Structure 1
C-alpha cells in the first residue's frame, strides 16, 4: 500500500468516526482511464473529502502559495498535487494537468477557483473545461454539502459522466468555452440539489 492510499484509509476512517459520512454514486467513477472530477468548493477540507470518496488516486491542482508553506508543500506534493498560479494563465500547470490525464489518471478540479463564502455555487472558471476539451478524459460532476463541523454530515454526490462532445471543435471559440463551462457548473449544481433534497 503506497503512502497515498495509506493516508486515505486513515482520513476516511476519521470522517466515518467523527462525521456522518455519506457518498452516493461512487460507482459512477470509471475504474480506469482518464477522469476529471469537477466539484463545488466550500472548504479547505473538500480535497480530502473528494479524495476519500473515490477508490482511485485523485491528483489535485492547488494554489501555488500552499507549496511555499514548510512541510505542507512537501506533503501535498507527495500526495500527487501540483501548483497553479491563480488569476493568470499558467502553462506549466496546464501541461502537468494534461500529462496526468494522458497517463489515464484522475484530475480533481474545483472550477470556482476559490472557496464559496456563501456556500452557494459560484461562477466557474474555464480551467476544467480546457482540460476536458483538450483531452479524452471523462468528466464527472460532484456535489459536496457539509459544514465540516464535528459529528455533522459530510454528503458527497457523484454524478454520471457528462459529454462535452458538442463543444469539441478544431477551433474552440470563447463562446464555446463559456458555454461548456456553464454546462459543467449546471451539472455540479444538479448534484448539490439532489443532496439537499435528500437532506430534506
Structure 2
C-alpha cells in the first residue's frame, strides 16, 4: 500500500496521468476525498459548474489550473472539484510541508501536492510541474501567491503559471471558488454559505506570441487571471478592473483591447492536440518506412 514513503519520493512520482511509472498510492487520497468531500457537501452544499471544461482534457494533455485566492478553502475545492476522475497536483509554499513535524507535509504529499520556494525561481519545482504536465496530469497554481484581503502581503501576479504551462506544453484553465471568502471574515463568526466552483475556457500560451518576448508570459498569466476574476464576479472579462486588483503590476487592458486574443473551448483544444499527435505519428511512420 506504500505506507512508508518520504515526501520527496511522492513529489517525484506521478498521480493519475498516463505514465507507466510508479504512482503515489491512491488509498490516502481517496479516504481524504470521501471524508472532506462529504463534509463540504453537507456544510457548503457546493456544486461545480462547467466541469466538462476540465474533464475534456482527461488523458489527452496536462493542464495548468489557475484560480484567484481568497481563502484557505480554495485549495480544498480545487482538489475536490477534479475528483473522482482526476487529481490536481497543487503547488504549495515550502513551509507548509514542515508543519506539525512534517505530518501535514505527508498528508499534502499523499494527495499530490508538492512544494515551491516563495519569491524565487524554484527550478526544482518548475521541473517537477513540467514533468507532471507532460504525463498528462493537472497542476494547480494560485498565481497571486497569497490570500486577497488576508495578511500583510499585497497580492501580486507571478508569471510562473504561464512559464510552467509553456515548459509542459499545456493549456491553462482558469477557475474560481465563489463564496469561500465568506466562510470566515475577520471579527465575525464562521458561516456556511453555498460555494460554487466554476471552470472557464482554456487559455493557450502561444496566443500571446504577438507581444515582445519578455512580456508574453506575464501577459498570459494576467489574461488568465482576468478570466478567473470574471468567473468570480460573474461579469465579462473586459469589465474586470485589473489595475485596481493589482496596482503594482503592469496593466494589459489596452493591449488586449487593440489585439483580441482568440477564445477556445476544451473540445477545440483537444481536437487540435489529437490532430498534431496524429500528424507526428504519420511523419514517424513515413520516416521509418523510408529508412526500411
Alpha-carbon distance, 1:192 to partner: 1.0
Q: Deviations over 1:59-85 (max 9, x none)?
A: 011111011112111111111111111
Q: Is the 8 A contact 2:145 2:155 kept in 1?
A: no
RMSD between aligned residues: 2.2
Which residue of 2 is the match for residue 175 of structure 1? Answer: 215
Alpha-carbon distance, 1:140 to partner: 0.9
Which residue of 1 is the match for residue 107 of structure 2? Answer: 75
- TM-score for the superposition, normalised by structure 1: 0.87
In the alignment, does 2:48 pair up with 1:8?
A: no
For structure 2, which runs of at least 5 residues remain unmatched after alignment? 1-25, 184-189, 236-292
Which residue of 2 is the match for residue 156 of structure 1? Answer: 197
Q: Is the 8 A contact 2:162 2:172 kept in 1?
A: no
Inter-partner Cα distance in structure 1 for 2:70 and 2:48: 17
* Aligned length in residues: 192
Q: Is the 8 A contact 1:133 1:168 kept in 2?
A: no
Which residue of 2 is the match for residue 128 of structure 1? Answer: 161
For structure 1, which runs of at least 5 residues remain unmatched after alignment? 196-200
Alpha-carbon distance, 1:162 to partner: 2.1
Instruction: Describe the SS at the equivalent of 2:219.
Output: helix
In the alignment, does 2:65 pair up with 1:37?
A: yes
Aligned mate of 2:120, from 88, 111, 118: 88
Alpha-carbon distance, 1:137 to partner: 1.3
Which residue of 2 is the match for residue 47 of structure 1? Answer: 75
Inter-partner Cα distance in structure 1 for 2:98 and 2:90: 16
Inter-partner Cα distance in structure 1 for 2:146 and 2:192: 25
The structure in which a higher percent of residues are helix is 2
The structure in which a higher percent of residues are strand is 1
**Greater relative contact order, per chain length (Cα 8 Å cut-off, separation 6+):** 1
Q: Which protein shows a greater Rg?
A: 2
Instruction: Describe the SS at the equivalent of 1:153.
Output: coil
Q: Which moved more, 1:160-169 or 1:64-73?
A: 160-169
Which residue of 2 is the match for residue 192 of structure 1? Answer: 232
- TM-score for the superposition, normalised by structure 2: 0.61
